[in-house]
Amino acid sequence: MENQPNEKIRVRLESFNHELLTLSCRKIMDTIQLNPLNSVGLIPLPTNKRIYCVLRSPHVDKDSREHFEVRVHRRILDIFYDPNIDIIDLLSEPDLPSGVLYKICVG
């Protein structure tokens, strides 16, 4: 019978570019999978859309407007590990591309 890992770390990743986010998740998962006692769960979160409406001209033609949209893509990685392994050093190893924000929550 295998030992079940009993510690959990949650890594939250956010980015405007979904391709960079997927690449970063894959890079972290590849780094974690090198240790046989780890298990990783990927949870995609809903995309947060923010839409801005802007007047095209400041003085005339108030009916002419432009819409701009900002999308924030989010993922959560749940990592279950053995407490004997130094998981924080493993998570600091992968060099993630710029444009990806990640937070590590222990608990």
DSSP string, 24-77: HHHHHHHHHHTSTT-EEEEEEEEEEEEEEEEESSSSS-TT-EEEEEEEEEEEEE
Geometric angle at alpha carbon 103, from 100 and 104, rounded to 5°? 135
**pLDDT reported for residue 1:** 40
Rounded Cα distance between 19 and 17, Å, is: 6
For the segment 16-31, the average pLDDT, to the nearest whole number, is 90
Residue 50's pLDDT band, with cuts at 50, 70 and 90, is very high
Indicate the CATH number for domain 7-106. 3.30.70.600
For the segment 23-52, the average pLDDT, to the nearest whole number, is 85
Total-model pTM:
0.78
3-state secondary structure of 18: helix
Only one residue has tokens 């444009």, namely 99
